[in-house]
Homo-oligomer: A and B are copies of this chain.
Amino acid sequence: MRLFEYEAKEVFRRYGIPVPESALIYAPEEAEGAAGKLGYPCVLKAQVLSGGRGKAGLVKVVSNPENTAPVAAGIFDSPAATVDALLVEQAVEPEGEMYLSITVDPLSARALVMASASGGVEIETLAAENPEKILRESFDISSGLLEYQARNIAYSLHLQGGAAKEMVKILMSLYGIFRDLDAELVEINPLFSLPEGTFVAGDAKLILDDNAAGRREGFPLRREYFESEIEYRAAKEGIPYLQFDGDISLMCAGAGLTTTVFDLVHYEGGTVANYLEFGGPNYTRATEAMELCLANPSKVILAVTFGTIARADVMARGLVEALDRLKPDRPIVTCIRGTNEEEAVKILSAAGLQPFFDTEEAVRKAVALAKGGEQ
Q: Inside 8 A of A144's CB, which chain B residues have their CB?
A: 142
A143 interface contact, C-beta 8 A: yes
Q: Give Cα A330 to B112, complex, Å.
A: 66
Q: Give Cα A144 to B144, complex, Å.
A: 13
Q: Give Cα A142 to B179, complex, Å.
A: 14
Within 8 A of B (CB), among A55-109: none
Q: Give Cα A375 to B4, complex, Å.
A: 82
Distance of A182 from chain B, by nearest CB (Å): 16
Q: Inside 8 A of A143's CB, which chain B residues have their CB?
A: 142
Q: B-facing mask of A141-176, CB < 8 A → 1, else 0?
A: 011100000000000000000000000000000000
Within 8 A of B (CB), among A119-155: 142-144
Q: Give Cα A320 to B143, complex, Å.
A: 51
Nearest to A140 among chain B residues (CB) is: B142
Q: Give Cα A144 to B142, complex, Å.
A: 9
A contact patch SS? loop
Q: Inside 8 A of A142's CB, which chain B residues have their CB?
A: 142-144
Nearest to A144 among chain B residues (CB) is: B142
Q: Give Cα A143 to B142, complex, Å.
A: 6
Q: Give Cα A319 to B228, complex, Å.
A: 82
Q: B-facing mask of A162-197, CB < 8 A → 1, else 0?
A: 000000000000000000000000000000000000
Q: Give Cα A143 to B144, complex, Å.
A: 10
Could you list some 3 contacts between A and B, CB below 8 A? Answer: A142-B142, A142-B143, A142-B144
Distance of A149 from chain B, by nearest CB (Å): 15
The 3 closest A-B pairs by CB, nearest first: A142-B142, A142-B143, A142-B144
Distance of A146 from chain B, by nearest CB (Å): 11
Q: Give Cα A144 to B143, complex, Å.
A: 10
Distance of A315 from chain B, by nearest CB (Å): 36
Distance of A172 from chain B, by nearest CB (Å): 14
Q: B-facing mask of A248-292, CB < 8 A → 1, else 0?
A: 000000000000000000000000000000000000000000000
Distance of A19 from chain B, by nearest CB (Å): 26
Q: Give Cα A142 to B144, complex, Å.
A: 9
Q: Give Cα A237 to B155, complex, Å.
A: 40
Q: Give Cα A64 to B143, complex, Å.
A: 55
Nearest to A143 among chain B residues (CB) is: B142
Q: Give Cα A129 to B170, complex, Å.
A: 55
Distance of A99 from chain B, by nearest CB (Å): 29
Q: Give Cα A292 to B144, complex, Å.
A: 45
Q: Give Cα A143 to B143, complex, Å.
A: 8
Q: Give Cα A144 to B141, complex, Å.
A: 12
Q: Give Cα A354 to B144, complex, Å.
A: 57
Distance of A145 from chain B, by nearest CB (Å): 13
Q: B-facing mask of A202-218, CB < 8 A → 1, else 0?
A: 00000000000000000
Q: Give Cα A63 to B236, complex, Å.
A: 59
Distance of A215 from chain B, by nearest CB (Å): 13
Distance of A375 from chain B, by nearest CB (Å): 56
